[in-house]
Amino acid sequence: MLNPEVLLGDAWRTYYEYFQAVDGQRFSTSLITKKPVGIRFFPECIIWMHVIGSKLHGRDLLIGFDLYHKAQKLQILPTGLKYKRYFKPFSTIPRIFAIADAQAPYTNIANQLKQCCADSHANFKHPRPLWKNPEFFISYLSSSMKMPIQSKLLSEVNS
């Protein structure tokens, strides 16, 4: 499965598929790529297949056993992926914002910062995020194009 935002809109066609997750919940997808997509694990290991499109929470790509089965000689080891002489170790992706334990006077501020941090725009908890705040954008009279205020200021400084 691939997040539909990764590819352009014209790369997809309508295709309905229904799944049941391990926890018993059912979900459906409504997109599939028009042409096969190449997924490159290693320089000599590229798997071409049609990919189903679905919004994945915090992920752009989800590899299933159908793709793993197609990739002959690709091994999933406890420490990483191996293909012939190539090896890629598994690694953790650190959070963008990590807050260490704060000293006593700063615990309240640290808790507020933890509540404001999000892994993606979908998880952003502020009631008025900048990308939805109309005061942050300028409307031009000649067109409906909107531009962030910061970009306008930078273009005025450069000219």
Per-run averaged pLDDT (10 residues), the chain, 159 residues = 86 90 85 91 88 82 84 88 89 61 69 70 67 64 49 46
Residue 137 belongs to domain spanning: 132-159
pLDDT for the residue 130: 67
**Amino acid 154: pLDDT:** 45
pLDDT for 2 equals: 87
**Alpha-helical runs (H) found in 64-103:** 65-70
DSSP state letter for 56: B
Q: Which residue, of 73, 92, 122, is where some domain finishes?
A: 73
Instruction: Please give the pLDDT value at position 32.
Output: 93
What count of residues does the chain have? 159
Domain end marker among 73, 103, 124: 73
Q: Helix, strand, coil shares of the chain as percentages rounded to 5?
A: 25, 35, 40
CB-CB neighbours of 2 under 10 Å: 22
Place of tokens 């990919």: 51
CA distances from 118 to 40, 42, 107, 125 (A): 29, 31, 19, 8
Q: 87 lies in a domain?
A: no
Say if 38 falls within a structural domain: yes
Q: What is the pLDDT of residue 68?
A: 83
pLDDT of residue 121: 64
**Pairing status of strand 74-77 against strand 146-148:** unpaired
22 domain residue, yes or no: yes
Residue 158 belongs to a domain = yes
Q: Is 3 within 8 Å of 55 (Cβ atoms)?
A: yes
> pTM for the full model?
0.51
Query: Are 43 and 22 within 8 A, CB to CB?
Result: no
- Residue 149: in which H helix or E strand, if any? helix 149-158
Looking at 27, 47, 73, the residue that finishes a domain is 73
Q: Specify if 127 maps to a domain.
A: no
**Cβ-based neighbours of 125, under 8 Å, separated by 6 or more:** 115, 116, 118
> What local confidence, expressed as pLDDT, does residue 137 receive?
63
